[in-house]
């Protein structure tokens, strides 16, 4: 998916809210999402999904910040509007943190087995009496001791 394709997808998903944004808003939201995830263009469905979700989150934060100065204690509707955006963004951020924890290999762009270290044993071998079996008769290390 390209940036233009992502903008089209975002506009179709946020429906009537799309009229509140101009092209620069979409580009800023996508840039922020790319800083958190991956660069465009992308073909992997998982990456496209999270680029789209994070872009929406940033668009919603724009609306929340826009409504922040209109909050008035006497006008409860505007105050609740701000709190609804804040709650939605908080939920979206929580979902993102959970996805990071559940899919570290996908977000790190590495195979899962590369996330963990390799165990290298000390190389010592003993029998049941505690005698050292590490070295053979020629004083070479036995790499596959039979204990």
Does the N-terminal peptide bond of residue 41 adopt cis geometry, omega within 30 degrees of 0?
yes
* Beta bridge partner(s), residue 35: none
User: d(Cα 108, Cα 93) in Å, to the nearest integer?
Assistant: 18
- DSSP conformation class of 135: B
| pLDDT tens for each residue of 67-125 | 777 655 565 555 577 788 899 999 999 999 999 999 988 988 888 777 777 666 666 77
Quick check: 5 pLDDT over 70? yes
User: d(Cα 78, Cα 72) in Å, to the nearest integer?
Assistant: 7
Res 72: pLDDT:
59
């Amino acid at each position: 998916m390209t940036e233009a394709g992502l903008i089209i997808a975002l506009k179709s998903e946020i429906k009537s809210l799309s009229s509140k944004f101009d092209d620069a808003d979409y580009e800023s939201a996508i840039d922020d999402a790319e800083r958190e995830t991956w660069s465009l263009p992308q073909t992997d469905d998982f990456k496209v999904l999270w680029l789209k979700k994070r872009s929406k989150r940033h668009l919603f934060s724009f609306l929340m910040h826009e409504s922040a100065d209109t909050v008035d204690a006497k006008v409860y509707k505007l105050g609740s509007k701000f709190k609804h955006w804040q709650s939605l963004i908080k939920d979206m951020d929580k979902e993102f943190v959970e996805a990071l924890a559940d899919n570290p290999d996908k977000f790190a762009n590495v195979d899962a087995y590369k996330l963990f270290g390799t165990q290298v044993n000390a190389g010592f071998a003993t029998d049941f009496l505690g005698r050292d079996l590490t070295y053979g008769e020629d004083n070479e290390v036995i790499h596959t001791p039979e204990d």
